[in-house]
Amino acid sequence: MLRFFIKKLLLAATTLITVSVITFGLFFAAPNNPAELMCGNRKTCTPAQEESIARRMGLDKPVVQQYADFMAGIVKGRTFGEGDAVRECPAPCLGYSFRNDEPVTDIIGRTLPVTLSIVFGAAVVWLLIGVSVGMVSALRKGTIFDRGAVGFSLTGASMPILLFGPLLLIIFVYETGLLAYPSYVPLTENPVKWAAAMLLPWLALGFINSASYARLSRAQMLETLSEDFVRTARAKGMTKFRVYGKHALRAAITPIVTIAGLDLGTYLGGTVVTETIFGFTGLGKASLNAAINLDMPLVMATVLLAALFIVAANVIVDVLYSFIDPRVRLA
Amino acid sequence: MTDGATGPVGLKVSTPDEPAADVSATVAENVLGRSPGQLAWLRLKRDRTAWASGFALLFFAVVAMAAPLIERLYGKGPLDRFSDKLDGNGNPLGYLGGVSAEHWLGVQPRLGRDILIQIVYGMRTSLLVALTAALLTIVLGVVVGIVAGYLGGKVDAVLSWLTDLTLAFPFYIFCFAFVPIAVAQRYGPTDQEASWFRPVLLIIVFVLFNWTYSARLVRGQVLTLREREFVEAARASGAGLGHVLFRQLLPNLWAPILVTFSLNVPALITAEAALSFLGIGILEPTPDLGRLIADSVNYVRDDPAFTLTGGITLFVLVLAFNLFGDSLRDALDPKSDR
């Protein structure tokens, strides 16, 4: 168990480091001069000013040195500048935005909760709808409900959020006025307003994903129901409810946990389209703006963070798998 | 399905008076030898969903290819402006975003362009990018998968690591970083980009990040196929590596390859639309569905019909591809469960 875990972690670490090297390489492929970007107005900016900015940011050092400084900054923080213009950037230091000189960690700290709120709420929606629809349609195979559910999962899986998101806005905001156009309120500030603002993105992202979960859980449940142990349990006289709800469900849910974990990992890195449609500034929107502005420290941070979520989700799913499904042996 | 089922069913109905040998003889007479491809085709022909989605795809393909012809017949180009159809605020006159006999799907607010011809040309862009990318993706994926699976050992380890690494890249976020930098590399801030540049860039990004699924699939198949006798026979008779890989193994893989390809296209159409929606993909003046939707979202309050038109087109396009891909999978692999 421990060896398996360590091996997984090492592999994850090498992957993350490779991602960081490739993304850092993009820094230097970008033809812009970051010092010029930071200096602001091009006309009033003298070469001497640019040079001092470059020195303060450590941009005058060789590439490898810069990469080493950046990575060291994440672990133990770093100090920018020299003389009286010294600026301490505590760990985990991700540098300063080229655009407005704001610490990148502050920007992440502001935008990450938005994305977290959207993703976890939506995950609840898609798991509730998807798994229950899938399970019920498997138990009622061949009925009208089942056919409806299959139709739902086929069409729902093709529904682009570019249609469904605006459709929700039209229905709930512009035509009926049931909801106001969402505007983010932190959970800690006002939980009710937070949930009200999040309702539309939850519905949008949740519904889009629930279709594939319905399909998957239906297929899994059907497969499990045809297994011998289910028949044995029924033959012994166990109630339907116990057999399906406890034994069959547990066997069927393993692949769903895997997919849900991986989906969560991917979405946590940013749900750009959802954020854009509903006007939130989450991690995805921040990374999009950073990229358009060629604000490389922020780009680097968002790519790394998103990759971290994906890799972490992979490791967690692997470990979780062995707890849910005792047949999986970790060697 | 058909072949396998006739045997046991035929035996069940046989009366005890009849000798068993006769039964098997009549069964053998009635059974027609069919290749797996023919069987799949028969199954596909019986599938109503396959017919409907197939016709829809054919329709979209014809519309996309005949876009210039449609433009001539319809009499309006994708960039023509019809400002006389807009009111003082730039909103289209009339109902449902200015739907009229002249403009079948209305006109775009502010710009005054005809929406129908934009959608026709936009589908052309979407399909061109998605199909090219899907084709290149599958070629790359199959080559990597077949080589990794057959050669095994160190080659497999390296290629599998590469696959895992690619999967760890956050696709959209990396696209945001990659595309603007690639553009800035080639063009200065004030230069006009060539119209082919963005589509090519998108295709490159899609291929770079999408080959992993087909590579994994093919690798898994090859791992079992390579132990089979026909591969051993080919090797024993002195066949080279290329012959074994592409003449012996590849023909056994076409079913999963076809299914993967046909389900990859709608995913890429969605991704292309999303990137263009976000302003990273196709740019003005090339007509594109994602960009059209991005523009329409700005007017969703005053002109919801416009927003829905673009979105529904995208939905129907993706749905047709997905349904056809599902039917194809059912036809090629009847055991697979929906």
Task: Convert the pLDDT of each residue in B246-300 to its tens digit.
Answer: 888 988 888 889 888 988 999 999 999 999 999 888 887 888 899 889 888 888 8
In this prediction, residues B66-79 reach a mean pLDDT of: 82
pLDDT at B190 over 90: no
Answer yes or no: do B180 and A292 touch at CB < 8 A.
Answer: yes
Q: How far apart are CA B291 and CA B282, in angstroms?
A: 7
pLDDT at A77: 78
In a domain, A305, yes or no: yes
Token couple for B237: 């008779």
CA distance A84 to chain B (A): 34
Same domain, A216 and A143: yes
In total, chain A counts a number of residues equal to 331
Q: What is the pLDDT of residue B137?
A: 95
Assign B19 a pLDDT band (cuts: 50, 70, 90): very low
Strand partners, B113: B81
Residues 227-286 of A with CB under 8 A from B: 266, 269-270, 272-273, 276-277, 284
Q: In one letter, which amino acid is B330? A: D
Q: What is the pLDDT of residues B96-127, one digit of tens each?
A: 776 776 777 778 877 778 888 889 999 999 99
Q: Are residues A178 and A216 in the same domain?
A: yes
Among A20, A137, A158, A221, the strongest candidate for a mutation testing the B interface, having the largest count of B CBs within 10 A, is A158
Q: Is residue A268 part of a domain?
A: yes
Q: What is the pLDDT of residue B17?
A: 47
Same domain flag for A79 and A132? no
Who among B277, B290, B304 is closest to A174 (CB)? B304
- Running along chain A, 331 residues long, what does each successive block of 10 average in pLDDT? 82 89 79 64 65 71 81 80 69 80 88 93 93 90 88 88 91 84 83 88 92 90 87 87 83 85 87 91 90 84 91 86 67 44
pLDDT over 90 at B319, yes or no: yes
Domain boundary among A42, A60, A89: A89
Closest CA in chain B for residue A163 = B311
Contact B303, B85 (CB under 8 A): no
Q: Are residues A35 and A156 in the same domain?
A: no
Q: Is the CB of A29 inside 8 Å of chain B's CB atoms?
A: yes
- Domain tally, chain A: 2
Residue A95, domain member (yes or no): no
Question: Do A210 and A116 lie in a common domain?
Answer: yes
pLDDT grade for B11, boundaries at 50, 70 and 90 = very low
Query: Long-range CB contacts (< 8 A, 24+ apart) of A191-196?
Result: A194/A117, A195/A121
pLDDT value, residue B82: 77
Higher pLDDT, B65 or A35: B65
Burial class of residue A61 in the structure, from the number of CB atoms within 10 Å of its CB (0-12 exposed, 13-18 middle, 19+ buried): middle
Distance from CA of B54 to the nearest CA of A (A): 16
Give the pLDDT band (50/70/90) at residue B57.
very high
Inside any domain, residue A97: no
The candidate with the shortest Cα–Cα distance to B90, out of B297, B303, B284, B310, is: B303
Q: What distance in Å separates the CA atoms of residue A257 and residue A137, rounded to the nearest whole number?
A: 19
Residue B26 pLDDT > 60: no
Chain A residue numbers with beta carbons less than 8 Å from the beta carbon of B323 are 154, 158
What are residue A69's phi and psi, to 5 degrees? -60, -40
Question: What dihedral angle (degrees, nearest 10) is formed by the CA atoms of A167, A173, A175, A177?
Answer: 150
Domain boundary among A35, A61, A89: A89
Assess contact for A314 and A265: CB atoms under 8 A.
yes
Q: Are residues A82 and A151 in the same domain?
A: no
Tell me the residue range of the domain where A206 lies.
Answer: 104-330
Residues A8 and A114 in one domain: no
Query: Measured between beta carbons, which residues in chain B are less than 8 angstroms from residue A23?
Result: 174, 177
Task: Please give the structure tokens belonging to residue B327.
Answer: 């039917």
Residue A76 and residue A159 share a domain: no
- Does B234 contact A at CB distance below 8 Å? no
CA-CA distances (angstroms) from residue A314 to A212, A262, A266, A309, B176?
20, 6, 10, 9, 23
Residue B8 has pLDDT above 50, yes or no: no
Task: Say if A96 falls within a structural domain.
Answer: no
Structure letter (DSSP) for residue B83: G
Q: Are B256 and B217 in contact (CB under 8 A)?
A: yes
User: Is B333 part of the contact surface with chain A (CB cutoff 8 Å)?
Assistant: no
Say whether both A83 and A130 belong to one domain.
no
B277 touches chain A (CB under 8 A): yes
Cβ contact, residue pair A273, B164, below 8 Å = no
Beta bridge partners of A87: A80
Q: How many Cβ atoms from other residues are within 10 Å of residue A110's Cβ?
A: 15
Degrees (nearest 5) of the Cα angle B110, B111, B115?
110
> Checking phi first, is residue A231 left (phi over 0); if not, alpha (psi -120 to 50) or beta?
alpha
pLDDT at B25: 52
CA gap A4, A211 in Å, rounded: 34
294-313 in chain A: CB under 8 A from chain B: 294, 299, 302-303, 306-307, 309-311
From A14's Cα to the closest Cα of chain B, the distance in A is 9
Which residues, 6 or more positions from A99, have their beta carbon under 8 angstroms from its beta carbon?
A37, A38, A293, A295
Q: Is there a domain that residue A156 lies in?
A: yes
Reported pTM? 0.85
CA–CA gap between residue B102 and residue B106 (Å, rounded): 8
Does the interface ipTM go beyond 0.95?
no
Domain boundary (A35, A64, A89) is at A89
Element (H, E) at B44: helix B36-46
> Which of the residues A27, A133, A162 would you substitute to probe the B interface, choosing the one with the greatest number of B C-beta atoms within 10 Å?
A162
**Distance in Å, alpha carbon of A143 to nearest chain B alpha carbon:** 15
Give B15's pLDDT tier (boundaries 50, 70, 90): very low
Identify all chain A residues contacting B264, using CB atoms and an 8 Å cutoff. none
Q: Is residue A247 part of a domain?
A: yes
Residues A260, A209 share a domain? yes
Provide, rounded to the nearest whole percent, the portion of chain B with pLDDT above 70: 88
Residue A204's pLDDT is 93
The 3-state secondary structure of chain A, one letter per residue? CHHHHHHHHHHHHHHHHHHHHHHHHHHHHCCCCHHHHHHCCCCCCCHHHHHHHHHHHCCCCCHHHHHHHHHHHHHHCEEECCHHHCEEECCCCCCECCCCCCEHHHHHHHHHHHHHHHHHHHHHHHHHHHHHHHHHHHHCCCCHHHHHHHHHHHHHHHCCHHHHHHHHHHHHHHHCCCCCCCCCCCCCCCHHHHHHHHHHHHHHHHHHHHHHHHHHHHHHHHHHHCCHHHHHHHHCCCCHHHHHHHHHHHHHHHHHHHHHHHHHHHHHCCCHHHHHHHCCCCHHHHHHHHHHCCCHHHHHHHHHHHHHHHHHHHHHHHHHHHHHCCCCCCC
In this predicted structure, the answer to whether residue B1 has a pLDDT above a threshold of 70 is no
DSSP B265-324: HHHHHHHHHHHHHTTSSS-TTS--HHHHHHHHHTTTTT-HHHHHHHHHHHHHHHHHHHHH
Please name the residues in contact with B327: beta carbons below 8 A apart, sequence gap of 6 or more: B44, B47, B49, B50, B53
Instruction: Please compute Rg for chain A using Cα positions.
Output: 25
Q: Which residue type, as a one-letter code, is found at position B99?
A: V
Q: How far is it, in rounded angstroms, from Cα A31 to Cα B184?
A: 7
The answer on A223 and A76 residing in a single domain is no
What domains can be seen in chain B, in order of their start residue? 50-332 (1.10.3720.10)
Give phi and psi for B92, each to the nearest 5: -65, 145
Q: Which of B335, B333, B193, B328 is nearest to B263 (CA)?
A: B328
Quick one: pLDDT at residue A150? 87
pLDDT of residue B100: 73
| Residue where the block lists tokens 């040195």 | A65
B224-253 per-position pLDDT tens digit:
888 889 998 998 998 888 899 888 898 888
Q: Is A94 part of a structural domain of the chain?
A: no
C-alpha neighbours within 13 Å on the C-beta side of residue A35: 16
Which candidate in A152, A163, A222 is best for mutational testing of the B interface (most B CBs within 10 A)? Answer: A163
Listing DSSP states for B122-138 in one string gives HHHHHHHHHHHHHHHHH
Whether residue B30 lies within 8 A of chain A, CB to CB, comes out as: no
- Is A331 touching B (CB cutoff 8 A)? no
Enter the DSSP assignment of B66. T
Report the pLDDT value the prediction gives residue A207, as an integer from 0 to 100. Answer: 92
Task: Judge if A124 and A253 occupy the same domain.
Answer: yes
Each residue's pLDDT tens digit, B165-179: 888 888 888 888 888
Residue-averaged pLDDT of chain B: 82
Of A160, A215, A270, the CB nearest to B172: A270
Say whether A158 and B319 touch across the interface (CB within 8 A): yes
Please give the interface size between A and B, counted as residue pairs whose CB atoms are below 8 Å apart: 143
Cis peptide before A92 (omega within 30 of 0): yes
Range B29-67 burial, b when 16+ CB lie within 10 A, else e: eeeeeeeeeebbeebbeebeebeebbebbeebeebbeeb
Which position has the higher pLDDT, B321 or A55?
B321
| Domain of residue A292, CATH code | 1.10.3720.10
B331 — pLDDT class (breaks 50, 70, 90): confident
